[in-house]
Amino acid sequence: MSDLLRYIGDGNALPDAQPPEGLKEKNLLEMYRWLVLLRTFDERAVTLQRQGRIGTYALYWGEEGTQAGPLYAMDGGDWVFPSYRQNSIAMLRGVPAATILAWWRGYGGKYGFYNPREHRVGPICVPIATHLPHAVGVAWAGKIRGDQTASLAWFGDGATSEGDFHEAMNFASVLKVPTIFFCVNNQWAISTPLSKQTATRTIAEKARAYNMPGIRVDGFDPIACWKVTHDALDRARNGEGPTLIEAFCYRIAPHGTADDPRLYRDENEAEQWKPLEPLSRMSRYLKRLGILSDESAAEIEGEAKEQIAAAVSEMESISHPDQDILFDTVYASGRPWMFEEALRELRSVERPDEVKPLGPPTSPGAGEEGKTQ
Ligand SMILES: Cc1ncc(C[n+]2csc(CCOP(=O)(O)OP(=O)(O)O)c2C)c(N)n1
Ligand SMILES: [Mg+2]
C-alpha cells in the first residue's frame, strides 16, 4: 500500500496531504455526502435482503471511494458503466434510489429500469466485463462525432481475466478512444484470490501491453481516486486515449448476501483492512482540515437516512410492469411480428394479476439461489 497515490493519512504515521487542486471545500463536502449516501443505501439494502424485501444483493461496503471519487471527476455528459458492485451509482446521476432498490427486488419501475441514455449510466452489468466494449463504443462514437464525450467503466480484478477486458483495452488504445478503465482490485473474485487470478504483480502493469498509462491508487482514498480519474480524463480529452486505473483495496464484505467468505478465507484478514475503509477516513480527514464538524456530519447522515427511508417506501409501492417491456426496447424500430406473436402467447399464459411481494425466507438461505452469480 505504501507506493500508492494517497491524500488521506491515518492521523498518525501516515501523513495527510493537502487536497489536490480542483477540489475546493464545497467539492470535498459534496463528495463526502455521496459517500454517506452510498453507504446508507448499501447498509439498508442488506437489511432489506435479510428481511426478504429484496432478492440477493451485491454489497460494496468499503468500496464507496472507488465509486464517488471517479464519478465526481466525470462530467454529466460523460458515460459511466457500472458492474453489479457499483449498483447504486445511478442515484448520484439523478435516478431515484427506489428504482435501483426495486431492480434488486426484480423490477425497477414502469420501464423495468432507468433509461441509460437519459442519465448516461449504462445498465447494471452482471456478466463480468461485457460492459467494457460498450464503454469503448460510446466514447468512440463521440470521437467520430467530434464531441467531447468520454466514458468510464468499473470492473473488478477478476474481470481482467476475461477476453472482453483485453478486447476493449486493445480497441480503445489503437483508436485512441477517451475511455477510463477503472479496475477495483479488491483482491477477490468471489472465492478466487488475486494470486490465482493473474500472474502479474499488479493489474496496472497490464496497461503496458496496450501502450496506455497504467496507474495504481489507494482504492480506499476517494480523493486519490478522484485525482487519477481527473488526470486520465484530461489526457482523454486531449486526444491521448485511454488509461487503466487500478484502485487497490480489499473486499471487506462478502461477495454478496448469498456468500459466506468464512468458507474460503480467514476473516481476520478482512478485519485488518477495515480501518482503511473510506468513509471514516474521509470524515476524520475533513475534520482535521476543519471542513467537517460532528454536527454537520450528523446532519449529512440524517439526510441520507431520510432519503433512503423514503426510497424504501417508494420501492414497495412500485407495481410490476406490464409484459410489453420485455419486447419494447429491443429494437428502435418497434416490435417485429414475431415479438407480437410471442407477447400474445405470453399473455395467454395464466398468471396472477399482482406479483406477491417477496415474503421472509422460510428457512435459512431460502430464496438465495444464484442471482448475481
Ligand atoms: C461472464 C461471467 N462469468 C462468471 C460470472 C460469475 N461471477 C459473478 S461475480 C464473479 C467474480 C468477479 O470478480 P471481480 O471481477 O474481481 O469483481 P468483484 O466481484 O470482486 O467486484 C464471477 C466469476 C459472471 N457473472 N459472468
Ligand atoms: Mg474482485
Q: What is the CATH number of the domain that holds 310?
A: 3.40.50.970
230 is catalytic: no
Q: What is the mean pLDDT of residues 167-171?
A: 98
Active-site residue (options: 50, 208, 262, 264)? 264
Query: What is the residue-averaged pLDDT of the chain?
Result: 92
Residue of 128, 167, 246 to mutate, ligand 1, most atoms within 8 A of C-beta: 128
State whether 307 and 328 are in the same domain: no
188, part of any domain: yes
* Per-residue confidence band for 366, with pLDDT thresholds at 50, 70 and 90: very low
Q: Give the model's pLDDT for residue 364.
A: 47
* Per-residue confidence band for 351, with pLDDT thresholds at 50, 70 and 90: low
Q: Give the model's pLDDT for residue 356.
A: 58
Closest to 119 in 3D by CA, of 86, 149, 77, 67: 77
230, part of any domain: yes
Q: Which atom of ligand 1 is nearest to the CA of 186?
A: 20
Main-chain phi, psi angles of 248, to 5 degrees: -80, 125
pLDDT tens track for 191-224 = 999 999 999 999 999 999 999 999 999 999 999 9
- CB–CB of 142/150 below 8 Å? yes
d(CA 244, CA 32): 25
State whether 345 and 247 are in the same domain: no
* Per-residue confidence band for 110, with pLDDT thresholds at 50, 70 and 90: low
- CA of 171 relative to ligand 2 center, distance in Å: 23
pTM, 2 dp? 0.91
255 is catalytic: yes
Q: Say whether pLDDT at 111 is over 80.
A: no
pLDDT tens track for 146-159 = 998 999 999 999 99
State whether 200 and 331 are in the same domain: no
Secondary structure class of 243 (helix, strand, coil): strand
Q: How far is CA 231 from CA 215, 236, 356, in A?
A: 11, 9, 49
Q: Whose CA is nearest to atom 13 of ligand 1?
A: 189
Burial class (CB in 10 A: 0-12, 13-18, 19+), 353: exposed
**In the numeric block, which cell numbers belong to residue 319?**
407495481
Q: Which atom of ligand 1 is nearest to the CA of 130?
A: 1
Q: Which atom of ligand 1 is nearest to the CA of 185?
A: 16
Quote the domain boundaries for residue 101.
25-319
Q: Say whether pLDDT at 329 is over 80.
A: no
295, part of any domain: yes
Which ligand is in closest contact with the Cα of 186? 2
Q: Whose CA is nearest to atom 7 of ligand 1?
A: 373
Q: Whose CA is nearest to atom 11 of ligand 1?
A: 189
Single-letter code of the amino acid located at 29:
L
Burial class (CB in 10 A: 0-12, 13-18, 19+), 65: buried
Q: b or e along 133-151 (b: 16 or more beta carbons within 10 Å of the residue's beta carbon)? A: bbbbbbbbebbeeeeebbb
User: Tell me, what DSSP letter sits at residue 241?
Assistant: -
For 304, residues 6+ apart whose C-beta sits below 8 A from its C-beta are 33, 36, 37, 39, 40
d(CA 229, CA 207): 15
Active-site residue (options: 53, 134, 216, 251)? 251
Q: Give the model's pLDDT for residue 14.
A: 82
State whether 201 and 343 are in the same domain: no
Sort strands 214-218 and 188-189 into parallel, antiparallel or unpaired: unpaired
Q: Whose CA is nearest to atom 23 of ligand 1?
A: 189
pLDDT tens track for 227-241 = 999 999 999 999 999
State whether 310 and 332 are in the same domain: no
357, part of any domain: no
d(CA 67, CA 60): 10
Active-site residue (options: 44, 85, 120, 255)? 255
Q: Which atom of ligand 1 is nearest to the CA of 255?
A: 19
Reading phi first (left if > 0) and then psi (alpha if -120 to 50, else beta), residue 3 is in alpha
Q: Say whether pLDDT at 371 is over 50.
A: no
107 is catalytic: no
